[in-house]
């Protein structure tokens, strides 16, 4: 059975730390199980996500210091070892889920971690950056 957990990222520092943890090559087969959406480079994801956030604030005329706001969501999707799923299949499932969840309108990084007894996808998602 697949389990999905979500937590909120509420600061630039927390976003930076989450991205470093998510992209970690020791957990992702030297980053072969890392990809991004609507980003030029996953290693610049923090900069790009924050730039999008600031642009959206400017377009909406909403300038805040970010205190108490949700910058992003950290989503973990864990697969049961009994599911007999490959890391590549888990990654593909995670990408499809995020594209459906965000309707392809938001930046995200997804990484599949294989350093534990269960395969799991982790990703920060910039759900709140959309410019309407």
Q: Which domains does the chain have, with CATH numbers?
A: 3-129 (3.30.930.30)
Residues 55-79: pLDDT tens digits? 888 888 876 766 778 889 999 999 9
Residue 130 has pLDDT above 60, yes or no: no
61 an active-site residue?
no
Residue 49: band (very low, low, confident or very high) from pLDDT cuts 50, 70, 90:
very high
Region 2-10 average pLDDT: 89
Catalytic residue among 2, 10, 12, 21: 21
Residue 100 has pLDDT above 70, yes or no: yes
pTM score, two decimals?
0.87
Give the per-residue pLDDT at 128: 39
43 contacts 22 by C-beta, under 8 angstroms: no
Region 114-125 average pLDDT: 81
Q: Pairing state of beta strands 120-125 and 108-113?
A: antiparallel
75 contacts 4 by C-beta, under 8 angstroms: yes
What tokens were used for 106?
């938001």
């Amino acid at each position: 059975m697949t389990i999905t957990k979500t937590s909120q990222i509420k600061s630039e520092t927390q976003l930076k730390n989450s991205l470093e943890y998510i992209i970690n090559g020791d957990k992702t087969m030297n980053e072969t199980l890392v990809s991004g959406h609507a980003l030029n480079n996953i290693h610049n994801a923090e900069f790009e996500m924050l730039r999008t956030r600031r642009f959206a604030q400017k377009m909406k005329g909403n300038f805040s210091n970010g205190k108490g706001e949700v910058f992003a969501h950290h989503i973990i999707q864990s697969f049961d070892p009994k599911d007999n799923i490959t890391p590549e299949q888990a990654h593909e499932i995670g990408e499809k889920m995020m594209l459906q969840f965000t309707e392809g309108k938001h930046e995200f990084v997804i990484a599949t971690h294989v350093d534990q007894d269960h395969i799991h996808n982790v990703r920060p998602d910039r759900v709140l950056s959309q410019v309407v």
